[in-house]
Amino acid sequence: MIPTLTDAEIDAGLAGLPGWSVEHGKLHRSYKFPDFPHAIGFMMTAAPMIEKKNHHPEWANVYNHVTVHLVTHDSGGITKKDLDLAGLLEGIAQRLL
């Protein structure tokens, strides 16, 4: 099991992830893309990389919005895996926004 992060460790990780926050014990980010194809493109671009990491987000798409929640369920909280995945998603999103 991967250890959960302390609040200070989470805050330090979030310092490099603009727009990300903690909501209900999970990392949270809501993206607004120019249109539906960009929103779906974000999800489809990220999906193979997410699968390779075997660490899957809770995410939802409504038209041009994608909402993401990250938590390591096996560990019962936020871990380094969540911060790493947030960084990956942020990099992909910034190319499409």
CATH number of the domain encompassing residue 36 = 3.30.1360.20
In a domain, 58, yes or no: yes
Does some domain include residue 62?
Answer: yes
Residue tagged 């919005």 (tokens): 65
Query: What is each CA distance from 55 to 5, 37, 86, in whole angstroms?
Result: 16, 24, 11
96 found inside a domain: no
Asked if the structure places residue 12 within a domain, the reply is no
60-95 pLDDT, tens digit per residue, is: 999 999 999 999 999 999 999 999 999 999 999 999
> Is position 71 within any domain?
yes
Tell me the pLDDT tens digit for each residue of 2-49: 999 999 999 999 999 999 999 999 999 999 999 999 999 999 999 999
Per the confidence metrics, is the pTM higher than 0.85?
A: yes
Q: Biggest alpha carbon distance in the chain?
A: 39
Q: Are the C-beta atoms of residues 43 and 61 closer than 8 Å to each other?
A: yes
Amino acid letter for position 63: Y
Range of the domain at 47: 21-91
* In the chain, alpha helices (H): 7-14, 36-53, 80-96
Q: Domain total for the chain?
A: 1
Would 78 be classed as within a structural domain? yes
Q: Is residue 87 part of a domain?
A: yes
In a domain, 66, yes or no: yes
